[in-house]
Homo-oligomer: A and B are copies of this chain.
Amino acid sequence: MRMAGALLAIGALALTGAAPAPVRTMGEIVAASKPAEWRRLDPTQTLYLDLATGRVIIELAPGYAPRHVANIVTLVRAGYFDGAAIIRSQDNYVVQWGQPDAKRSLGAAKRTLKAEFERAMTADLPMDRLPDPDTYAPVVGFSQGFPAAQDPVSHKAWLVHCYGMVGVGRDEGADTGGGTELYAVNGQSPRQLDRNVTLVGRVVQGMELLSVIRRGTGDLGFYKTPTEATPIRKVRIAADLPPSERVELEALRTDSATFRTLVEARRNRRDPWFKVPAGRLDICSTPLPIRVRNH
């Protein structure tokens, strides 16, 4: 007996009196997309975090956190994260990594930066809005490939803490983070962190390797002993690897017709398994399709 809800089978709205339109699965909707509806991930803004269990790929968000993203790229190129470790795994919250060796050189990077919790809503900042109300923000949607929110009164925009989003650990002061410790959300979206942390990107592949890491039993899910930590072999910028060692990914553009079709299909699931279509869709439940580029 299988719970088939995750099949993501989706149907078009049937016209009254007409034969029902054929139900299309999410896979079928995506498969019918046009090549121009996809954007290639920028290899200069893509991190590979290699664990013994496989590779985690993170797309960086320079449009929202330019200083932190540049600093993280500098840290990666200085080899700062080689031999780093997962030092925290808190259930239904975050998995966090850093460099246990306090003497490790930062290279030309800085340890702390001015916070980038939000940015100005400028005319050139894209925002593909979702139609349904959000508990936390007046406007939510997708911007530059990331889940984002806006406040038309303050004219600010910010990224939001959905599953797999990557942020910058910090101490109590707002400007005490710089990217030497990063975390990824591994449970229910902790939206109370929005505008309290600099978000720098999102895990686009391999999140299932981070989410299964054994929870720490210390305060906040930190490990009590260094031996419990999961080693990180190395972190690299995709562009710094020869093409043969890269994974060429592309993301469905959120301003595309196919994405809009997907959103509507997820708001109202019409496949036979669903008995009550929700009629709504939360930003953190909205799929952001990623696929390996077909050369």
> What is the interface of chain A, defined by CB distance below 8 A to chain B?
1-7, 90-94, 96, 98, 117, 132-136, 162-164, 167, 169-172, 174, 176-177, 180-181, 183, 186-197, 207-208, 211-215, 220-222, 266, 269, 272-276, 278, 280-282, 284-285
Contacts and interface: CB of A to CB of B under 8 A. Distances in A.
Contact of A1 (B93, B171, B187): B171
B274 A3 contact: no
Contact of A170 (B1, B180, B213): B1
Contact of A275 (B6, B174, B281): B174
B188 A117 contact: no
Nearest to A130: B135
Contact of A3 (B91, B96, B134, B162): B96
A5 B220 CA distance: 9
7 contacts: A1-B176, A1-B181, A4-B220, A186-B211, A191-B280, A192-B281, A196-B275
Given A91-B207, A92-B207, A6 B212 contact: no
A163 B187 contact: yes
A2 B183 CA distance: 10
A214 B212 contact: yes
Given A196-B275, A212-B213, A275-B117, A188 B189 contact: yes
